[in-house]
Structure formats: structure tokens, C-alpha cells
């Protein structure tokens, strides 16, 4: 009976979840901005752009207070009720939502009108929600790579009028200063930590004590000594938003202690602080006041809010004697700038994260990984003067911060607080390709990576440069000497694919401006290297789970180590597309030449034999049209432009087997031809070697302007020796297709055979490329032992012979190679199963010889044989004559040079006329 009851309860709960998930909750309505502008209240959050809203508070509170607690769902948050929130751009977004308290029960009981909630995006599954409802009104923070946004009261004291705004439209004041003192006792108390750790399966929960000065209490509009609930609500809103970032990025939750109200001071005249405007004083007072009122054993991390003095925090302080040495002060301690850029930043220091910017401020050289002011939480976005990359921080930790914080949490930070399972799994990064590639100087490139999530969660990806050199300006890489390790590329917002282009396409399409303005996710902060140098990168993958995000990172310092991901910049000139390069106008369905400067990229160390050519019709944002999937990297190729009219066309030439590319500098136009025909590009046929006797590729045509003159087809170039190309039908009606057939294809070795086809229809002539691909098959076999070339020892002046015996597939050719110490090169004329050198010299000792045995469908390389050349012996000191008495012995000596010497002494008894071996 108990089993039946449980099943019925589960069905009832599932039905209730379904009803909640499909219910409509129209709590917000758009209202006129002109109407709200008459509100007689001070506005403290004034974005450049925003959406004005009215809220049905009674309905909203009733809905929120009905929500189940987080533990109810046992990690199945897709069963949680649904709330619909207004986005700044006029759209709405739905979220599964549940109660997620950041207050201990004793504190909740003191402030029953204050609750916090969490949510996961439905329409945007990458979005996480933190929401609170307090006497100060409704507050929502939505973090997403699609554009994070907030909902806050329109003005102080109003709880019915609201604004929805993107964080990119709300810039902070440039007056914050953050310092990080060094505390030897904190360092001494730390246990050794691993190099890095993945996070996501377990939540670290710390009890947090947040004090505030009386000056801070006035900022949210609290009358001195009269409204503790309003003051506490302001603290909860800030901490709830900090928790929203921490849970997703580092799996940390901060829960306000039960008696936190004891350190929330309403009156500056009666609070115990003297350092509201002096960070160095306040950081010590923070520790003293919190310990005295809360008790050192009753919290894990402490912090004090103020209105002046900037920020100051002790590294690695939770769990130790300095755990309350953290403060954040701002004249306007409200909104995203305070909550994320300042408080999350300072608490990030306490959790072990140093500054990460290279352009200003203080931090160890080893953490100066971010260009200029940086853009991450532990950087200085917006408060770094000329080095500002953007006005606000992005709500993500840099991989260096993730490492430092993860190490602390796994080490000394694990000695306090509690843990709870998240029910989440860590993403798994797939092996990364193109590691170790070499690219030309001043040439853009694209890095790619993929990952899987054991839970099927959608993933976001961030490629981050890992180079550092110390304090440098944001564009120092443009003038740094060869071999430098200056950071070149800023950390950008994660993306929903593992593909990042360096610099960003927007920078490329703007033709690499020298000094772009500081803007959120803008053009500033990305520089190509004009000199040879190494670059290192890591891929960070997140699953963006609201109740404990899974995070994985690649590289030797990553939790899923695969070695350092390195790209080497080399050469002396950039890989450049030279035509079409902007300003041209071409009729559609016509063949045009694409040209580029190869600059040696078809040889080592770049090793790019072939390139891909693609077309953009949106000004270089995307390149969806492949004009040629693969063609020789020889600097020129004819392509057929599609009959797609546009004034914003660009061409992209990208390396195959490497990561670099270039695009047209500016847009060109494609126009509709008046009348004519064109070939559809990309005609290809593939067969495995040995190929059948014929290979056929479908070749399509298009017609414009009613053109109907038959097209006569001819293969005019690229036809392999011993083969022919025929067409059926031929002539061809414009707008129809034919088959191009390669005859005697069974005689061909594996490879790609690009045949140029010409079509003539009256006065109209077009060309295209048809690719016949014979894929590799079975190559000849050289078994071990005597069939391989053998080591040879000869005397100087003699010849040396090497041979090979191959079996299996029929042999079509041999090519002997020699390595004289700088790598193997072909020996001219050495094209048979054996090879004999010319007369050897002593300098040839150590030379290695091998042979490439080619069959129709592939080639096999033998092992290398070593040549040893012994020089002829030479006597350098002859024996000298000697006189001895009868019966005595006589000794003679000789000195000689040469390899493997042996000696035979001879004696003559007739003055040298004849000689005999000694002892004869």
C-alpha cells in the first residue's frame, strides 16, 4: 500500500508541475516612460536604454511565495514552475523557477518578507536567473551569453514601477580602487593544493557574515536607525546576485548567517567603524567587529560594505584568522556595477583570485593574462583609464581565476563550510585539433573545440590566451620584439560553439582599427602579432547550471589536461587575400579569379598544401557558401560566383590542416547578369583506389534572362595523362545538368585531379572546375628484416649499395632519399629497387638512406639504413733502425691512422729485396 501511495504522490506532483509549467503569469505590463518620469523619487540606476514596466506586486508575491524549495526537485529543475519575465528588447523569456535561500533559517525568520529564488532558462537554456523579492521591491538578474540583463525598480522607494535593461547599457562610475594585501599568516595556513580542478559535482557552502557601515545604510534610502528590513534587503539583493555568478562559475554558495542583523548598522554616528572612507582602516575593523559580534567560530567568510575607500581584500582568507578581511565601498552601492564588478571581485580575492589585468593595478606577473583593463570579474574593466577595454566586467571568471579559486577550495578552503551534491556532471572536452600549428605574422586564425555533457546540458565555450609578461599596455603586442609573450587577445564572452576567431570578425571587418573606443564586447583589446612568437591558449567549457555549474578546462594547467595548446607565429610576411579585395562589381554566375599571397605557407613549417575558398554575402559575418572545398595553395584560383545579388560580398581563403585565413578588406558587389549561363560550383566525384574505369561527376548549370543557347562543353586543362573527359549530354541546355566522366580512371594513383571545364554558348563562355578524387588504397608492403635497406660499411673511395624488396600491391615507382643531417631529400635519378652511391668519402659517414616505394594506390617508406665509411690506413711514423747485441731483443714501433687497424710485421734478411712475416 505504501508503494501505491508513493506512485500516486509522484503522479500528482508531476501533474502539478505540468500545470505550473504551462500556466501564464502576466505579472508585468509595459507602461509609458513619460508617466514614470513624473515619479518623485531618486533614480540610482539609469541605463542608457531601458524598457519601462509596471508590476502587479500582489500577484507576483503570491506566486513567488508558493514556489517549492530547491531540495524539493532533487535536481530535476525542469519540473519546476515557470515564470515569464520581460526582456529589455520587448521580448519575454521563460524560466523554471524555485525558491533558493541564501539566508540561514534563523535569519529568514527575522525577515519573513525577504525571499530569494533561482531559475534556469527555457527559451534560452544558457540563461541562469537569480531573483529576490523584498521590501525594496522585485530584483532579477539574468546571466546569459546571449546578453545578460536586469530588472530593477525604476527609482528608489518605488515597488510598482520597473526597468528592464541590458548590462551593456549601464556603465559604472570610474572611481573604484581595489588593493590586495599580503598576509603571511594566511599563506602559512594554506595546505598544498593541486594544480587545478574541475568543478560542478559538489557545491561548497560557506556561512557568510556581511557587515555594513552606517553610511552604507543611507544609500538604499534607509532612515537612520528606523528600517532594518530595508537595509537587510539591500544586502540580500547584492549577495543573491553574487551567488548567482558563484554557483554557475565556481560552484560556491554563500549563505548569510542567522544573526547577520547584529552587524548591519543603520546609523553612522553609532556604528563601530571609523574607516568608511579608509580601506586600510576598515579592513582591520571588519575582522574585529565581525569576530566580536558573531564569534570567530560562527562564520566562514566575512565582508563589510561601505560607501567609500574602494575595495580591499585578503587573499585566501576564508576558514582562517583573516576570514573577515574583505571590504567593498562605493558611493552608489546598488546595481550590477556594485554587485558584480566590485563585491564579487573583492570576495573573489578572498577565495584566492588575484587580479588578472596587465594594463593597470596590482597583481603578480604570472596572473597578468588579460589585455589592458581586462574584462573578467577579477580584472579592472571600466576603471583603468586609457587601458579600459570595456566599461563593465563580464560576469565570468578568467581561467586563471578559476584555477586559483579551485585550488583554494580544494585546499585550505576545504577546512570550513559544508558541501552538498549538485546532481550535475562535468563537461568532457574532446581532443583538440591543430595544436602546435604555425601561422604567418599578422594573420587572423580560428581555434575550434568540442565537448560533450554527460547530462545532455547545453554548453558554452571560451578560448582564452594564457601568455603573460608583466605590466604592458593593451596593444603592446603590436610593437613587442620577436619572441615576446605579451597578451594579445582579450577574454570575450563565452559562445554557444567552441569556435573563436582571433581577432573577432567585427575587428577584421573594421580593418583592425588602431585605437577603437572602449565598449562592451567591442573592438578594443585584440592585436595580431607582427613578429615571430609563441602563443598559448586554453578552452573553458561550462554547462551554465543555475544550481551548481559544471566547468572543465583544457591544457597542462586544466582539469582535463591534454598538454599546452600552442600556436606559433612565424615567417616574415602575412598571408593576404589580394583579390577580390573590395570595391569590385561582378555579374553573378561568372568565373572570377581569387588571388592571395602564399608567402611560403605551402611548405614547412606551415605545411598548407590546399586551401578552402568561401563567400560571404553579409559583409563578412558568415561565410556559408563554399566556392571551392579544396584547391592548391598556389596563390590563384578561378571560382564561379553564385547568382546572388549583394553589395556586401567578401571572399575568405582559409588553410586546410591549419588555422589561419584571410578575407577581403572591403565589400564587393555581385549583380544579376542580363542574360547568360553559369556553372554551379563544387562538382566532385570520388572513388577508392584502384578506381573503376570511369568516374562520373554531376555538373549543373543555371540560366538567367531566358538564356537557352546550347552549351558546348570541353575539358581544357588538368586532364590526367592517359585519360580523357567526356560529357553526356553535350551540348547541354542551360539550366540543366550533365555528367562529366573521367575515362581510364583505373590507371590513376590516389590524389585529387582538378579538371578545368569550359562551356561555350554563342558569345558566352564560362569555366569551372570539376574535381575527381581517387582516395588512397593499399600501398606496397616492405616487411622487416632483409627486405629493408641494410646498414653498409665501406672503405673510402668505394661505392655503397642499398636495396629494397616490396610485396603486395604492384609497385609503380621508387624514390631513394638521403639524410645528410638536415632531413631527408630526394636523390636525383635514384628511382629503382636498388641504389648505389658514387665513390664514398669519409664525410659521408652517418648518412642515412631510405626509399619511398609507390604503388598505384599509395606509398610506403622504408626504414633508414646508415652508411659507415672507413678511411684507408696511413703510416704517420715509420719504424726506426736499431743496433743490438747478439742474443738481445730488438723493439720496433709504428704509428698509423685509419679505422679498424690491424698490424703484420715483416722481416728482410737481404737488405729489403724480399720480406717475410716475422717469425718465418
CATH code assigned at 255: 3.40.390.10
Domain termination residue (choose one: 653, 673, 693): 673
Residue 104 inside a domain? The answer is yes
User: In this structure, are 75 and 94 located in the same domain?
Assistant: yes
Residue 771 inside a domain? The answer is no
User: In this structure, are 267 and 348 located in the same domain?
Assistant: yes
169: region left, alpha or beta (phi > 0 left; psi from -120 to 50 alpha):
alpha
d(C-alpha 894, C-alpha 192), whole Å = 69
SS3 55: strand
Question: 209 is written with which cell numbers?
Answer: 557574515
d(C-alpha 559, C-alpha 198), whole Å = 5
Angle at 632 between CA 630 and CA 638, to 5 degrees: 80
Residue 612 inside a domain? The answer is yes
pTM for the full model? 0.77
Domain termination residue (choose one: 551, 572, 593): 572
User: In this structure, are 448 and 524 located in the same domain?
Assistant: yes
The stretches of 739-863 forming alpha helices (DSSP H) are none
User: In this structure, are 560 and 580 located in the same domain?
Assistant: no
User: In this structure, are 212 and 157 located in the same domain?
Assistant: no
Residue 25 inside a domain? The answer is yes
Domain span including residue 900: 891-920
Give the residue ranges of the chain where pLDDT is below 70.
Answer: 1-24, 38-39, 172-197, 221-225, 556-558, 561-562, 918-920
CB-count burial class (<10 Å; 0-12, 13-18, 19+) for 251: buried
Residue 764 inside a domain? The answer is no
User: In this structure, are 16 and 162 located in the same domain?
Assistant: yes
Residue 327 inside a domain? The answer is yes
Predicted local confidence at residue 197, as pLDDT: 62
Residue 177 inside a domain? The answer is no
User: In this structure, are 333 and 247 located in the same domain?
Assistant: yes
The stretches of 251-386 forming alpha helices (DSSP H) are 279-294, 336, 345-350
* Domain CATH code at residue 639: 2.60.40.10
Are 907 and 920 a contacting pair, CB within 8 Å?
Answer: yes
Predicted local confidence at residue 562, as pLDDT: 64
Residue 175 inside a domain? The answer is no
Query: Which DSSP state fits 410?
Result: H
Number of separate domains in the chain: 5
* Nearest CA among 581, 590, 574, 636 for reference residue 611: 636
Strands (E), 257-369: 301-306, 311-313, 326-329
Q: b vs e for 510-525, b when ≥16 Cβ sit within 10 Å of the residue's Cβ?
A: eebeeebebebbbbbb
User: In this structure, are 507 and 443 located in the same domain?
Assistant: yes
Predicted local confidence at residue 5, as pLDDT: 29
d(C-alpha 678, C-alpha 671), whole Å = 13
User: In this structure, are 545 and 598 located in the same domain?
Assistant: no
Are 749 and 762 a contacting pair, CB within 8 Å?
Answer: no
* Nearest CA among 589, 594, 586, 593 for reference residue 671: 586
User: In this structure, are 109 and 213 located in the same domain?
Assistant: no
Domain termination residue (choose one: 572, 597, 614): 572
Query: Which DSSP state fits 469?
Result: -
- Give the distance from CA 177 to its chain's centroid: 31
Cis bond before residue 503 (omega within 30° of 0) = yes
d(C-alpha 540, C-alpha 525), whole Å = 19
User: In this structure, are 535 and 581 located in the same domain?
Assistant: no
d(C-alpha 142, C-alpha 44), whole Å = 20
User: In this structure, are 506 and 635 located in the same domain?
Assistant: no
Task: Give the pLDDT confidence of 272-319 residue by residue, as tens digits.
Answer: 999 999 999 999 999 999 999 999 999 999 999 999 978 999 999 999
Amino acid at each position: 500500500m505504501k508503494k501505491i501511495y508513493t506512485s500516486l504522490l509522484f503522479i500528482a506532483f508531476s501533474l502539478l508541475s505540468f500545470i505550473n509549467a504551462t500556466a501564464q503569469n502576466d505579472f508585468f505590463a509595459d507602461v509609458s516612460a513619460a508617466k514614470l518620469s513624473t515619479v518623485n523619487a531618486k533614480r540610482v540606476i539609469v541605463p542608457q536604454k531601458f524598457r519601462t514596466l509596471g508590476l502587479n506586486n500582489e500577484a507576483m508575491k503570491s506566486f513567488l511565495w508558493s514556489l517549492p524549495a530547491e531540495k524539493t526537485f532533487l535536481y530535476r529543475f525542469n519540473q519546476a514552475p515557470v515564470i515569464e519575465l520581460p526582456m529589455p528588447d520587448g521580448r519575454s523569456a521563460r524560466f523554471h523557477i524555485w525558491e533558493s535561500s541564501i539566508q540561514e533559517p534563523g535569519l529568514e525568520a527575522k525577515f519573513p518578507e525577504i525571499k530569494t529564488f533561482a531559475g534556469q532558462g527555457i527559451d534560452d537554456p544558457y540563461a541562469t536567473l537569480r531573483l529576490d523579492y523584498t521590501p525594496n521591491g522585485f530584483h532579477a538578474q539574468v546571466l546569459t551569453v546571449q546578453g545578460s540583463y536586469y530588472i530593477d525598480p525604476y527609482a528608489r522607494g518605488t515597488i510598482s514601477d520597473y526597468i528592464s535593461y541590458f548590462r551593456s547599457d549601464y556603465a559604472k562610475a570610474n572611481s573604484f580602487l581595489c588593493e590586495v594585501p599580503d598576509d603571511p599568516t594566511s599563506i602559512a595556513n594554506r595546505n598544498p593544493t593541486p594544480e587545478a580542478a574541475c568543478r560542478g559535482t559538489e557545491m561548497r557552502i560557506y556561512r557568510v557574515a556581511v557587515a555594513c557601515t552606517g553610511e552604507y545604510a543611507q544609500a538604499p534610502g534607509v532612515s537612520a536607525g528606523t528600517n532594518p528590513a530595508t537595509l537587510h534587503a539591500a544586502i540580500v539583493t547584492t549577495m543573491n546576485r553574487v551567488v548567482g555568478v558563484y554557483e554557475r562559475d565556481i560552484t560556491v554558495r554563500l549563505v548569510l548567517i542567522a544573526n547577520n542583523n547584529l552587524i548591519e548598522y543603520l546609523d553612522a554616528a553609532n556604528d563601530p567603524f571609523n574607516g568608511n572612507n579608509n580601506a586600510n582602516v576598515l579592513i582591520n575593523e571588519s575582522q574585529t567587529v565581525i569576530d566580536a559580534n558573531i564569534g570567530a567560530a560562527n562564520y566562514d567568510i566575512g565582508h563589510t560594505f561601505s560607501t567609500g575607500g574602494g575595495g580591499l581584500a585578503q587573499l585566501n582568507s576564508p576558514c582562517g584568522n583573516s576570514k573577515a578581511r574583505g571590504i567593498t565601498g562605493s558611493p552608489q552601492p546598488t546595481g550590477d556595477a556594485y554587485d558584480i564588478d566590485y563585491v564579487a571581485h573583492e570576495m573573489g580575492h578572498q577565495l584566492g583570485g588575484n587580479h588578472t589585468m596587465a594594463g593597470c593595478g596590482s597583481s603578480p606577473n604570472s596572473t597578468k593574462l588579460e589585455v589592458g583593463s581586462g574584462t573578467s570579474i577579477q580584472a579592472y574593466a571600466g576603471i583603468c583609464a586609457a587601458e579600459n577595454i570595456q566599461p563593465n566586467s563580464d560576469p565570468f571568471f578568467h581561467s586563471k581565476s578559476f584555477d586559483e579559486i579551485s585550488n583554494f577550495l580544494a585546499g585550505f578552503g576545504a577546512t570550513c563550510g559544508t558541501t552538498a551534491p549538485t546532481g550535475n556532471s562535468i563537461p568532457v572536452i574532446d581532443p583538440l585539433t591543430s595544436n602546435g600549428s604555425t601561422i604567418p605574422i599578422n594573420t587572423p586564425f580560428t581555434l575550434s573545440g568540442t565537448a560533450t555533457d554527460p547530462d545532455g546540458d547545453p554548453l558554452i565555450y571560451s578560448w582564452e590566451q594564457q601568455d603573460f609578461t608583466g605590466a604592458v599596455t593593451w596593444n603592446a603586442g603590436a610593437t613587442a620584439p620577436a619572441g615576446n609573450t605579451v597578451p594579445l587577445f582579450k577574454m570575450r564572452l563565452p559562445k554557444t560553439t567552441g569556435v573563436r576567431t582571433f581577432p573577432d570578425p567585427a575587428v577584421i571587418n573594421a580593418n583592425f582599427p588602431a585605437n577603437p573606443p572602449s565598449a562592451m564586447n567591442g573592438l578594443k583589446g585584440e592585436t595580431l602579432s607582427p613578429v615571430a612568437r609563441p602563443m598559448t591558449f586554453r578552452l573553458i567549457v561550462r554547462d551554465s547550471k543555475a544550481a551548481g555549474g559544471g566547468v572543465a578546462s583544457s591544457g597542462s594547467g586544466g582539469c582535463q589536461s591534454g598538454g599546452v595548446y600552442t600556436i606559433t607565429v612565424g615567417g616574415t610576411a602575412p598571408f593576404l587575400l589580394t583579390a577580390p579585395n573590395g570595391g569590385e562589381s561582378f555579374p553573378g554566375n561568372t568565373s572570377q579569379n581569387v588571388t592571395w599571397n602564399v608567402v611560403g605557407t605551402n611548405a614547412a613549417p606551415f605545411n598548407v598544401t590546399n586551401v578552402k575558398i568561401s563567400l560571404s554575402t553579409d559583409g563578412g559575418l558568415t561565410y556559408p557558401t563554399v566556392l571551392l572545398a579544396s584547391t592548391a595553395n598556389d596563390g590563384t584560383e578561378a571560382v564561379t560566383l553564385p547568382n546572388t545579388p549583394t553589395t556586401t560580398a567578401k571572399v575568405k581563403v582559409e588553410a586546410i590542416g591549419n588555422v589561419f585565413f584571410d578575407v577581403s578588406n572591403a565589400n564587393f558587389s555581385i549583380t544579376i547578369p542580363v542574360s547568360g549561363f553559369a556553372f554551379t560550383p563544387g562538382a566532385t566525384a570520388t572513388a577508392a583506389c584502384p578506381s573503376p574505369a570511369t568516374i562520373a561527376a554531376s555538373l549543373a548549370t543555371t540560366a538567367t534572362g531566358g538564356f537557352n543557347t546550347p552549351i558546348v562543353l570541353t575539358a581544357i586543362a588538368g586532364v590526367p595523362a592517359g585519360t580523357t573527359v567526356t560529357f553526356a549530354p553535350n551540348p547541354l541546355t542551360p539550366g540543366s545538368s550533365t555528367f562529366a566522366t573521367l575515362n581510364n580512371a583505373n590507371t590513376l594513383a590516389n590524389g585529387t585531379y582538378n579538371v578545368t571545364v569550359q562551356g561555350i554558348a554563342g558569345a558566352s563562355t564560362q569555366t569551372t572546375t570539376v574535381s575527381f578524387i581517387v582516395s588512397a588504397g593499399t600501398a606496397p608492403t616492405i616487411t622487416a628484416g632483409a627486405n629493408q635497406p641494410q646498414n653498409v660499411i665501406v672503405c673510402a673511395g668505394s661505392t655503397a649499395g642499398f636495396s629494397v624488396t616490396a610485396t603486395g600491391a604492384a609497385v609503380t615507382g621508387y624514390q631513394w632519399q638521403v639524410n645528410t643531417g638536415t632531413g631527408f631529400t630526394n636523390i636525383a635519378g635514384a628511382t629503382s629497387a636498388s641504389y648505389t652511391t658514387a665513390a664514398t668519402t669519409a664525410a659521408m659517414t652517418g648518412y642515412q638512406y631510405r626509399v619511398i616505394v609507390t604503388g598505384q594506390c599509395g606509398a610506403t617508406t622504408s626504414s633508414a639504413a646508415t652508411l659507415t665509411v672507413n678511411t684507408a690506413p696511413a703510416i704517420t711514423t715509420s719504424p726506426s733502425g736499431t743496433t743490438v747485441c747478439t742474443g738481445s731483443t730488438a723493439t720496433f714501433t709504428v704509428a698509423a691512422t685509419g679505422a679498424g687497424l690491424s698490424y703484420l710485421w715483416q722481416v728482410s734478411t737481404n737488405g729489403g729485396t724480399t720480406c717475410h712475416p716475422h717469425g718465418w
